[in-house]
Chain A
């Protein structure tokens, strides 16, 4: 990803959109650059122009002024249908074709591009696997036979069908219930790690934006971008009152979700395999572990109380670490590696002082 950091995949150059009969333009002189491989979230209240901006990238809405560049090429006037076949498109209402099977839905763009049958079939299988839908079960199903979450997975698979470098996603998880939404967001991030697409993602949900975005463009009124920054920067240094009020309270807590346990220093913890073992030097933290090196309970914890420790993994967020500490009524969490073996301890104070400065280094 580092190699691509400088390559601009999408560039909107002083783009504007006005509608006849309206004095104020919907979008005025908007400039936006999206680098290859990053997720840029367009965030703002409804009617702020974020969807309009996104739809001008694949020209579902034709800009009335300015230029649109796609991978360095001026696409303001090229054939819009051909342009759209190079850009994945996912919308909240999904819009699967109800008269076609899941397989045929995913095969739409490959067919339009004239792929042969064998290649298309193989690609459909690959995508269904990628999205966690068993091809044998799902290929022949119809959209109405799927749950909302499954439908949107098919929606994403369909958008990825011809392996486009760019994906536009308009509140793709907005209509799903919170649990499914959360799971699809996690899966989406994991998927993006694998496929490294350039993604423009529209949402009005600040939490979703912070969770998914490498960079976030907050839209103010009148189709103008109030601030375009990394989530950490946005939360710690809002550019103006509008941004601050849109982020609202709880910015510091959201920031915790951006840093991982691995970003912070951990301290040594003495482990013993048996409760009878002689205790170490005065005040040394002592943790009882089982045969596999996994934590069992504190023999002498930071709070002076012996009890079950809070356990976190390095890949977990600081938000989750604090949550574990609060639940265990302890100001020290045991950090374990993926095998569950103890690596050290994470102090409450380290979290307190560590956020903000480390947050920017997420990627």
Chain B
């Protein structure tokens, strides 16, 4: 069976897997965003804590994803939960780093003027620093998302949902019927999904960046 024939026959399954893939990634990125942003705000006035947080989450990135998924099995068994937990694990660092950079990059004179006007700490954060840091934070979320799409393919090793299943199945039966088509569909699906989400982020960034600070 050619790849086109395979696609026309199997597209409902592929689309479903792609959607599940997307779902797992988005859940993980949203959780990671909340954790990272709260962490960034909490440690903004404590350089030491900041460095520890960045160091720790950065080191977590170096753990091979296949190993991490495997290590999570005894604790969280199989399925979507360990997949999401592992993805959150990896997604925190890029978002945290950008949130920290974004908050720090607010020019000192703008903060000085805002404090001089009598803005409280909360309004300073929500009305001045957060809007100014937002484009940088959003870029962190974008990087985390793209990265998670690639890593989520490995989640099939813990029976997680998504396009990874096609890849793993195909590779396991290499030489068998449709094994190459399965693998190819999984790999291409991951690439297309990453591309679509990247474009989506460009759009969101255009729509949510205040006009005054748009480049």
Interface residues of A (CB under 8 A from B): 58, 60, 80-86, 89, 91, 93-101, 108-109, 112, 142-144, 155, 158, 168
Contact = CB atoms under 8 A, between A and B. Distances in A.
12 contacts: A60-B115, A80-B118, A84-B117, A85-B117, A97-B110, A97-B113, A98-B110, A99-B131, A100-B212, A109-B118, A142-B211, A143-B212
B117 A100 contact: no
Say what secondary structure dominates the interface of chain B: helix
Contacts of A168: 116
A315 to B, nearest CB: 35
B183 to A, nearest CB: 47
B113 A91 contact: yes
Interface string B97-121: 0000000000101111111111110
Interface residues of B, number: 21
B109 A95 contact: yes
Nearest to B130: A99
Contacts of B119: 81, 108, 112
Given A91-B109, A99-B132, A84 B213 contact: no
Contacts of B115: 60, 84
Closest 4 CB pairs of A and B: A95-B113, A89-B116, A84-B118, A142-B212
B123 A112 contact: yes
Contacts of B110: 95-98
A112 B117 contact: yes
A144 B110 CA distance: 14
B55 interface: no
Contacts of B212: 97-101, 142-144
Contact of B213 (A82, A91, A93, A98): A98
A168 to B, nearest CB: 8
Contacts of B109: 91, 93-95
Contact of A97 (B118, B120, B128, B211): B128
A53 B40 CA distance: 33
